[in-house]
Amino acid sequence: MNAPDNNQKGFLLISSLIILSTMMIIVSFYLDAIMQEVRVFDIIDTSPQTYYLAEAGVHEAIWKLQNDATWKTGFENDPEWSATISRSNTLGSSGSYEVTVQNIALAHAVITATSTVPARDTSAQRVVRASVFKALSPDPIESSSIFTNGDITGVGSAVVVTDGGLYANGDIDLSLFSNWSTPGSASAVDTVDVSFTSNLDATGGIFDSNSPPAPSGILMPSIDFDSSDPTSYKSRADYVYTSNEFKQLLDDFPVTTLTGIVYVTGNVFVKKKTTLTINGTLVTDGSISLGNGFSFDPEPAVLTINNVATTTPSGLLSKKNITVGGFNSQLNVDGLVYAGGTFLVKDGITQNVDASVSGAIIAQDVEVVISWQPVEVQLVQEFVNSTLGEPLFSQILFINHWEEEY
């Protein structure tokens, strides 16, 4: 057998080196991919820590707004006030968060909390934002069936006010063939904007920054939801439920009547085929939703609030949002509707949402969207006064919560 010549030896050597190099590249690629997966796993593994750490920053800021005299003064008296918090070594020797609180109006701020937790040779980060608001006025609103600290918005909607007027500390904006009427005035601290397809009939006149006399800002009335004071709604409640307990009650008894002050910790959802009657006041530190969820069942979600006596409170009170409709629902309130966030009525093409309020609506914002069947509102000042009462102080209302970011 002939021995391979030098050319063959060189070719085999070069081929071996190429194969070896290729294998090293492939192995290196897989090792790098594995290390990336390990890093991602570590970041995911620390994700709950970063989220709850950011939430801790938000709640520390809310605590300071309620209890720190310097923070309270700035928050309630300076519309451009801001403050920061910095915490390190919050999870043993690791973990930190930075919190910024920035007023966007008087007693209305955005809280931004950024948390960081080390993860191998990198770090995991989470950002949580919350909007908080505090009602400052202890006095009931007079002459307004609908009052907002922000905006009144109508899109493809009809609202009939039979007594009282409309008042917004922000804008009144009607569009898409909306038709609203009131025997009182329609007043907006900023502007009243009615599209050419819509109509606003205000017998008492329309007033805004462009139509003098321009209204002055009015502080939103305050409510003591759940402080330890004996006058708070939670302290006076005849029934106190958690969100799950109240849900189970309505599941077990789809037709339910309760009398007095009913306080729910968490969200309230009244679904279709449920008829809930409150002879008094339904109060929650969460949101309230009526008939907001798809179902083929023709039976509506019905929520009725009755006033037992003009000297006792009656109404629908939420620290956050109140949503009526989306699907078959009926809301009838003899009392005050109070939302620390948005009061929203939404219907659609089905035209099966009924809403009427004898008392008043007070909210951060009021929106009536694609609701051609008229929402009826009548001012009954006695219901408003007895339900607002005279709280010693108003609490911070957690009106919005941005989803977290990585």
Average pLDDT of the residues of the chain: 83
Q: Rounded CA gap, 199 and 174, in Å?
A: 8
Answer for the pair 137, 382: CB distance below 8 angstroms, yes or no. Answer: no
Of 25-34, 154-163, 211-220, 276-285, least confident by mean pLDDT is 25-34
204 closest CA partner among 146, 165, 158: 165
Q: Judge whether residue 43 has pLDDT over 50.
A: no
Answer for the pair 172, 190: CB distance below 8 angstroms, yes or no. Answer: no
Residues 232-245 have a mean pLDDT of: 94
Q: Which pLDDT score is estimated for 334?
A: 95
Q: Which pLDDT score is estimated for 137?
A: 58
Residues 304-333 have a mean pLDDT of: 89
Residues 214-238 have a mean pLDDT of: 86
Of 35-39, 222-226, 367-371, 376-380, least confident by mean pLDDT is 35-39
Q: 336 or 79, which is more confident? A: 336
Residues 21-35 have a mean pLDDT of: 65
- Residues paired with residue 168 on neighbouring β-strands, in sequence order: 148, 188
Amino acid at 139: D
Residue 72's alpha-carbon distances to 83, 134, 359, 360, in angstroms, are 11, 10, 32, 29
Q: Judge whether residue 372 has pLDDT over 60.
A: yes
Q: Judge whether residue 139 has pLDDT over 70.
A: no
Q: Which pLDDT score is estimated for 291?
A: 82
Q: Rounded CA gap, 111 and 129, in Å?
A: 5
Q: For the segment 254-278, what is each residue's pLDDT rounded down to a tens digit?
A: 999 999 999 999 999 998 889 999 9
Model confidence at 321, in pLDDT bands (50, 70, 90)? very high
The contacts of residue 236 (CB under 8 Å, 6+ apart) are 230, 261
Model confidence at 392, in pLDDT bands (50, 70, 90)? very low
